């Protein structure tokens, strides 16, 4: 299995786990943000290393293959493309008194991880360390991600903290217009009135009979795409059943199934925060030893015997900036409007019920973000006539 497929398989492992724990709320998860877990692979030994290789789906890949891939990928994303800004704050904080081994530091340098390493005196100044880490994340993400680590999380026993935040901003090719408010149907019983945006564009489309969903690629700058998975009949096919069906192999099977369509799309204005307990997710995937002080599983990092990871945090945010630009930390969505439509079949979609979405970089075939939009926030719920369940089904 090539490393790209390993990362994809691990990404879906994590997302399905998160989705089971958060069945009804919005989710935004960044697989690319967890690439920094590879640093722990350099530190791990024995059973802990085996757990990481199994859980991260590295299989028979060598250490060099794994880390050279991430090195190339990180170097690629450090380079700023026109109209696209992707900033990753992958931070490894180690207690000041826990001296790291020279061989570990040398390997961090070899694979360009060295700049992510920081020290802080958790023993005496845990709360100060928490504020310092949060300020660094805010700085690196241009204040898009704040309060990464909540109060009372760190204490004098903290040894290692991993923090991930990603800020991604991309400019639309042309304007996407806001439309009048419309109803969004959360389920059979509840709906809300919320703002939608809409437009016409040429996009790639397919119907998945397996997922019972429309699948649409919405293009924007530099080969990035917003991919929406919209259930055809949201009263019959639940979003959680679709989430549990998603796999690496199923996603790869879409590659040769796209057809070009003239699309008219109406999509709710996205805006929500998402916080994920990555530690609990990894433990559910049987990656446990790195969190256990008694295992001594990170022995290649330091001679300190009780070194272990206290927590791993990921906090994300998505929001509409204005009609011409959609800004996210970490995710961006966009609609390309065309003045002249080519001669292709027409398609009309109204995303007025829960859906899944990806942000994908076609150049590297990397999924940057996986999300679920279940409901708009800060709106009043109203009862829904069950007959209106059919309202969301529009395609031709």
What are the domain boundaries of the chain?
2-170+272-319, 172-269+324-383
Q: Which residue shows structure tokens 């969301």?
A: 392
pLDDT value at residue 339:
37
Using the CB atoms, write b or e for 304-335: b if 16+ within 10 Å.
Answer: beebbbbbbbbbbbbbbeeeebbbbbbbbbbb
Q: Which of 105, 156, 98, 108 lies closest to 130, judged by CA?
A: 156
pLDDT value at residue 170:
63
Helices (H), the chain: 3-21, 38-43, 46-55, 63-78, 102-110, 122-140, 239-245, 248-252, 278-284
pLDDT value at residue 351:
92
pLDDT value at residue 124:
93
Strand arrangement, sheet containing 182-185: 182-185, 190-194, 382-383
Q: Which residues of the chain have pLDDT under 50?
A: 174, 321-342, 386-387, 391-396
Q: Residue 72 in contact with residue 213, Cβ under 8 Å?
A: no
CA-based torsion, 288, 291, 293, 296: positive or negative: positive
The CA-to-CA distance between both ends of the chain, in Å, stands at 38
- Which residues, in sequence order, are CB contacts of 389 under 8 Å at separation 6+? 185, 188, 233, 234, 235
Answer whether 0.75 is exceeded by the pTM. yes
Alpha-carbon distance 129 to 108, whole Å? 22
Q: Residue 134 in contact with residue 298, Cβ under 8 Å?
A: no
CATH architecture of the domain formed by 2-170+272-319: 2-Layer Sandwich (3.30)
Return the number of other C-beta atoms located less than 10 Å from residue 142's C-beta.
12
Fold of the CATH domain 172-269+324-383? Alpha-1-antitrypsin; domain 1 (2.30.39)
pLDDT value at residue 146:
79
Return the number of other C-beta atoms located less than 10 Å from residue 23's C-beta.
13
Tokens of 307: 């070194």
**CA-only gyration radius of the chain, Å:** 22
| Per-residue pLDDT tens over the stretch 179-200 | 778 899 988 888 888 888 887 8
CA-based torsion, 112, 136, 371, 38: positive or negative: positive
Alpha-carbon distance 165 to 353, whole Å? 28
Alpha-carbon distance 117 to 208, whole Å? 44
Alpha-carbon distance 190 to 169, whole Å? 33
pLDDT value at residue 176:
63
């Amino acid at each position: 299995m090539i490393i790209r497929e390993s990362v994809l398989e691990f990404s879906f492992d994590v997302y399905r786990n998160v989705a089971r724990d958060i069945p009804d709320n919005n989710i935004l998860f960044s697989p690319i943000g967890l690439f920094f877990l590879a640093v722990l692979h350099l530190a791990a030994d024995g059973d802990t290393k085996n757990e990481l290789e199994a859980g991260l789906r590295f299989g028979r890949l060598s250490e060099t293959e794994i880390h050279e891939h991430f090195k190339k990928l990180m170097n690629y994303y450090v380079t700023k493309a026109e109209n696209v800004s992707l900033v990753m704050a992958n931070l490894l904080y180690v207690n000041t008194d826990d001296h790291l081994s020279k061989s570990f530091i040398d390997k961090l340098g070899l694979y360009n991880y060295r700049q992510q390493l920081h020290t802080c005196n958790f023993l005496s100044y845990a709360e100060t360390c928490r504020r310092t880490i949060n300020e660094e994340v805010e700085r690196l993400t241009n204040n898009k991600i704040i309060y990464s680590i909540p109060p009372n999380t760190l204490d004098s026993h903290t040894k290692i903290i991993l923090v991930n935040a990603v800020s991604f901003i991309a400019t639309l090719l042309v304007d996407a217009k806001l439309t009048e408010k419309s109803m969004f149907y959360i389920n059979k019983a509840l709906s809300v009135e919320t703002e939608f945006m809409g437009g016409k564009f040429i996009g790639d489309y397919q119907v998945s009979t397996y997922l019972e969903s429309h699948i649409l690629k919405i293009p924007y700058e530099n080969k990035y795409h917003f991919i929406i998975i919209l259930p055809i009949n949201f009263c019959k096919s639940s979003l959680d059943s679709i989430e549990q069906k998603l796999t690496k192999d199923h996603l790869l099977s879409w590659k040769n199934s796209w057809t070009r369509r003239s699309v008219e799309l109406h999509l709710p204005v996205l805006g929500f925060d998402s916080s994920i307990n990555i530690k609990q997710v990894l433990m559910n995937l049987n990656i446990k030893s790195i969190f256990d002080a008694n295992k001594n599983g990170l022995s290649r990092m330091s001679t300190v015997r009780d070194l272990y990871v206290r927590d791993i945090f990921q906090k994300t945010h998505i929001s509409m900036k204005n009609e011409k630009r959609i800004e996210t930390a970490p995710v961006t969505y966009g609609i390309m409007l065309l003045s002249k439509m080519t001669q292709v079949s027409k398609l009309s979609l109204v995303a007025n019920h829960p859906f899944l979405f990806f942000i994908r970089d076609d150049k590297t075939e990397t999924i940057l973000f996986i999300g679920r939009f279940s409901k708009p926030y800060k709106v009043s719920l109203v009862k829904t006539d069950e007959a209106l369940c059919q309202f969301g089904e529009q395609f031709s």
